[in-house]
Amino acid sequence: MRPLANGHPVSPPTGRPGHAEPAHPLEWPVYDDGVAARVTELITRGRTFDYDYGSELAELERSFAERHGRTHALALTSGTAGLLAAYFALGVGPGDEVIVPDLTFFSTASPLFLLGAVPVLCDAGDASGNVDPAAVEALVGPRTVAIAVTHLWGHSCDMDALRAVASRHGLALVEDCSHAHGSTFRSRPVGSMGDIAVFSVGGRKLVSGGMGGMLLTDSEDVFARACLLTNFRHRTDLTIDAARYEPFLLTGLGGNFRISTPGAVLAQSHLDRLDELVERRVTNMSALSAGLGRLPGVRPSPVADGVTMGAWYDGVVEVTPECPFSRDELVAAGQARGLKVRAPATRPLHVFPLFQGAAPDWSPQVAAAVRAAAAVNDRPFPRSAELFARWMKLPVNFLWEENSPLVGAYLDAFDDAFSMARTA
């Protein structure tokens, strides 16, 4: 660990003499002393796991359900497990198609392969990177059973238009809310609008239990089936009522994907402060994006009418052809000044071998789904490709302090880079 200066780790010097590199605070997730003490206490008491349904799990699920106005919540090991459980609970199976965004983290789609189902990729729509409901509808075919959308970088999709598409075609609607803790659409929280909503509650997400996920639904059947995939006794018989699931309560249906007790407590500590965390992040990210937007050819990610931003996970700005730098040059200029900017890690799914037909030869069901997906997705995705090539990721994980001094430091550093480009 590098030494701390005023609570901030000291960064190594950069290649720009005379220019101090901004001091970054610890990278999110950050936890307070109170929760550290609670986790220590759990460890001391050996309460590091929960095969039943103890107060920590129950409290996290109750808080998530309440915050999103949902009837059921299921805490899991990861967002990926939540998405697998969502598709399993909907009964998605071999040969079924689910329309998913091309621009998302691959877990929105990859669990479908495990079920033998086929992700049908939808190109990005507007400059936020989200899918356009009309483009989603154009992909509906006889095998389509569901639509899954991601609220990319925290921008809520147009959930009313997507709900209308889903209803017209009798499809289930799944929201992947992993980027968007605390975002809203027309005053409704993301996570409250799909038939199923899934949040990653792990890694660098704004609500993070280290590793974790959360599935929300109002359907008792969806909840029971998701719970049976991800748990066995006693969690199952403590929380599933319907008699039809009785034969499966002891064994579950093949998975054990429950969150750890310390993980639940860590996630709870963020959820309890979510409004404050969102306010800080939104204030910092709005100021940074708007400030960068004053530079030639740098375009902040547009926030649609009726949308409020929450976590702004992995938030980006677009570097357009009017900019004197290419995206990669601008990233390099920022990095040379000690800035933590880069191309986003979340890339279009159509570029991955798994989505281009690389089929595992030891699993015929997965292989068939992978090959079917490669065939159905053998078309261009111009909008996703263009946006991905232009996006520069901002240091969102460091912008968790109130009125972060990093905002001004980053704007000064980019001003310096642009003025050097002008004089060069």
Ligand X SMILES: Cc1ncc(COP(=O)(O)O)c(C=O)c1O
Give the residues lining the site for ligand X (CB under 6 A).
Answer: 78-80, 104-105, 107-108, 150, 176, 178-179, 200, 202-203, 213
Smallest gap from Cβ 104 to ligand X, in A, equals 5
Contact (Cβ atoms closer than 8 angstroms) between residue 349 and residue 388: no
Sign of CA dihedral 68, 71, 74, 80: negative
Of 105 and 223, which has the nearer Cβ to ligand X? 105
Contact (Cβ atoms closer than 8 angstroms) between residue 24 and residue 9: yes
Whole-angstrom Cα distance, residue 159 to residue 156?
A: 8
Of 119 and 338, which has the nearer Cβ to ligand X? 119
Of 177 and 303, which has the nearer Cβ to ligand X? 177
Helix axis angle for 220-230 and 79-89, nearest 10°, is 120
Helix axis angle for 55-67 and 261-271, nearest 10°, is 30
Of 78 and 248, which has the nearer Cβ to ligand X? 78
Smallest gap from Cβ 33 to ligand X, in A, equals 25
Smallest gap from Cβ 106 to ligand X, in A, equals 8
Report DSSP letters for 342-400, one per residue: B--S--BGGGSGGGTT---TT-HHHHHHHHHHHHHT-S--HHHHHHHHHEEE--GGG--
Residue with the shortest CB distance to ligand X: 79
Tokens at 295, concatenated: 């530079």
Of 63 and 208, which has the nearer Cβ to ligand X? 208
Whole-angstrom Cα distance, residue 319 to residue 391?
A: 6
Q: Which of 53, 36, 4 is nearest to 259 (CA)?
A: 53
Whole-angstrom Cα distance, residue 260 to residue 262?
A: 6
Smallest gap from Cβ 201 to ligand X, in A, equals 7
Beta bridge partners of 101: 122
Smallest gap from Cβ 82 to ligand X, in A, equals 8
Of 213 and 255, which has the nearer Cβ to ligand X? 213
Query: H/E element holding 211?
Result: none
Of 108 and 144, which has the nearer Cβ to ligand X? 108
Q: How far is CA 47 from CA 42, 57, 60, 73, in A?
A: 5, 12, 16, 22
Of 22 and 314, which has the nearer Cβ to ligand X? 314
In angstroms, what is the C-alpha Rg of the chain? 22
Of 211 and 385, which has the nearer Cβ to ligand X? 211
Smallest gap from Cβ 321 to ligand X, in A, equals 28
Of 91 and 203, which has the nearer Cβ to ligand X? 203
Query: H/E element holding 301?
Result: none
Of 129 and 338, which has the nearer Cβ to ligand X? 129
Smallest gap from Cβ 148 to ligand X, in A, equals 10
Q: How far is C-alpha 214 from the chain's CA centre?
A: 12
Report DSSP letters for 96-138, one per residue: -EEEEESBS-GGGTHHHHHTT-EEEEE---STT-PPPHHHHHH
Q: State yes or no: cis peptide before 234, omega within 30 of 0.
A: yes
Whole-angstrom Cα distance, residue 309 to residue 311?
A: 7
